[in-house]
């Protein structure tokens, strides 16, 4: 990177007009870099990879091959949205791999958080590698690297991102948003016509619901977590909190308590609500959720989600609690 094009000296992309100018410039650059060769992209459905996909589709159409690996730990509706937006609406060259059984099989009985992360990250690379080796004539690998990824080597967040790909992959990189900050990537995404709920998505860890289905993951508890999380997101959306709160989700621990339902003993898991605000995820404060909304969420989750019999609220700032529970 040349010193005079570092983001500090760049005009920040704050409007659709500036985003369009950036897009035009990148389309030219990408075409020049790629020529008539093929480009591979791991499309998670997150903001960065989605924007890179849309940008590359605009620049080189079917020369881009997107691979979406569903590790079975996505939130409700996420893989479906990737298929809808990229497969149908943008008519992308999209390979969808449902690897749910592989991931959940490997994770069976594994309760240590770091071990779970390693399994998920390692298997992701394997699945992606397998798909890549089936393809012929790929010369480039596109990545949704953004500027903070380049400068962030702080050592505090020791997360190996699940999107991290094997170093031995011999592809030249295409990283069209590498000089942008997250806010700018979002503006570019909107200018490219991506839906708001994709562009303004809250951060979601690479290992997905795997770090929120605490302890050893079971299909039943994972499914309860996914449904409860969907209700939380829906109610935050309706209550006007979705665009305001930085990150909010449900965690479900591997423990049961006694409850009562329809006059009978009902043992179930608690759903823990976590809703935090932060600037850089290094420290975080708690969102004050109105009690009326908490009652509504509790009512819906306990009535609608099989296996959940209590709803709890996590009031712990970071530090001392990390944002995620694992």
Q: Binding of ligand XMP at residue 206 (CB under 6 A)?
A: yes
Q: Binding of ligand XMP at residue 144 (CB under 6 A)?
A: no
Q: Binding of ligand XMP at residue 78 (CB under 6 A)?
A: no
On whether the CB atoms of residues 239 and 198 are closer than 8 A, the answer is: no
- Please identify, using beta-carbon distances, which residue of 159 and 256 lies nearer to ligand XMP: 159
- Please identify, using beta-carbon distances, which residue of 266 and 325 lies nearer to ligand XMP: 325
Least distance to ligand XMP, CB of residue 282, Å: 8
Least distance to ligand XMP, CB of residue 261, Å: 32
- Which of 162, 163, 76 minimizes the C-alpha distance to 120? 162
Least distance to ligand XMP, CB of residue 288, Å: 20
- Phi, then psi, of 70 in degrees rounded to 5: -90, 110
Q: Binding of ligand XMP at residue 323 (CB under 6 A)?
A: yes
Provide the token pair at 261: 């339902």
Contacts (Cβ under 8 Å, ≥6 apart) of 112: none
- Please identify, using beta-carbon distances, which residue of 258 and 315 lies nearer to ligand XMP: 315
Least distance to ligand XMP, CB of residue 200, Å: 15
Whole-number Cα distances in Å, 286 to 155, 204, 256, 273? 24, 18, 26, 11
3-state secondary structure of 188: helix
Helix residue ranges per DSSP H, 92-165: 100-107, 113-134, 147-151
Specify the pairing of strand 308-313 against strand 64-70: unpaired
Least distance to ligand XMP, CB of residue 175, Å: 17
Q: Binding of ligand XMP at residue 45 (CB under 6 A)?
A: no
With CB under 6 A as the contact rule, the residue among 281, 286, 294, 312 that binds ligand XMP is 281
With CB under 6 A as the contact rule, the residue among 161, 190, 223, 277 that binds ligand XMP is 161
Provide the token pair at 172: 């030249």
- Please identify, using beta-carbon distances, which residue of 118 and 178 lies nearer to ligand XMP: 118
Q: Binding of ligand XMP at residue 207 (CB under 6 A)?
A: yes
On whether the CB atoms of residues 142 and 40 are closer than 8 A, the answer is: yes
3-state secondary structure of 216: coil
Give, as ranges, the residues between 230 and 249 that touch ligand XMP (CB under 6 A). 247
Report the C-alpha gap between 277 and 149 in whole angstroms: 20
Of the candidate spans 83-91, 157-165, 251-259, 267-275, the one that interacts with ligand XMP by CB under 6 A turns out to be 157-165
With CB under 6 A as the contact rule, the residue among 68, 71, 117, 221 that binds ligand XMP is 117
> Total residues at the site for ligand XMP (CB under 6 A)?
15
Where is 271: in which H helix or E strand?
Answer: strand 269-277
With CB under 6 A as the contact rule, the residue among 38, 58, 159, 178 that binds ligand XMP is 159
Q: Binding of ligand XMP at residue 38 (CB under 6 A)?
A: no
Whole-number Cα distances in Å, 198 to 66, 185, 233? 17, 12, 14
Residue with tokens 């080796």: 133
CA gyration radius, the chain: 21
Q: Binding of ligand XMP at residue 310 (CB under 6 A)?
A: no
Q: Binding of ligand XMP at residue 208 (CB under 6 A)?
A: no
Where is 65: in which H helix or E strand?
Answer: strand 64-70
* Interacting residues with ligand XMP (CB under 6 A): 117, 157, 159, 161, 203, 205-207, 211, 247, 281, 318, 322-324
């Amino acid at each position: 990177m040349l010193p005079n094009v570092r983001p500090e000296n760049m005009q920040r992309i704050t409007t659709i007009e500036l985003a369009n100018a950036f897009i035009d410039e990148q389309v030219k650059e990408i075409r020049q870099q790629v020529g008539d060769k093929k480009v591979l992209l791991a499309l998670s459905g997150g903001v960065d990879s989605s924007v890179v996909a849309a940008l590359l589709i605009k620049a080189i159409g079917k020369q881009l091959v997107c691979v979406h690996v569903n590790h079975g730990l996505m939130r409700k509706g996420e893989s479906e949205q990737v298929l809808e937006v990229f497969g149908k609406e943008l008519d992308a060259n999209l390979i969808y791999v449902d690897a749910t059984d592989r991931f959940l099989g490997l994770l069976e009985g594994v309760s240590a958080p770091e071990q779970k992360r390693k399994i998920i990250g390692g298997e992701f690379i394997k699945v992606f590698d397998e798909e890549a080796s089936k393809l012929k004539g790929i010369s480039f690998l596109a990545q949704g690297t953004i500027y903070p990824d380049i400068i962030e080597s702080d050592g505090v967040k020791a997360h190996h991102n699940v999107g991290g790909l094997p170093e031995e992959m011999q592809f030249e990189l295409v990283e069209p948003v590498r000089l942008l900050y997250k806010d700018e990537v979002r503006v570019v995404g909107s200018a490219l016509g991506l839906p708001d709920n994709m562009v303004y998505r809250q951060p979601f860890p690479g290992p997905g619901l795997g770090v929120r289905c605490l302890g050893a993951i079971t299909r039943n508890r994972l499914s309860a977590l996914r449904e409860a999380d969907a209700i939380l997101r829906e109610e935050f959306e309706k209550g006007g909190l979705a665009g305001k709160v930085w990150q909010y989700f449900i965690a479900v621990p591997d423990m049961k308590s006694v409850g009562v339902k329809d006059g009978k003993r009902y043992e179930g898991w608690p759903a823990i609500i976590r809703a935090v605000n932060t600037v850089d995820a290094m420290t975080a404060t708690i969102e004050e959720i109105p009690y009326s909304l908490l009652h509504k969420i509790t009512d819906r989750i306990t009535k609608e989600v099989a296996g959940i019999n209590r709803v709890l609220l996590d009031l712990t700032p970071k530090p001392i609690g990390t944002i995620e529970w694992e």
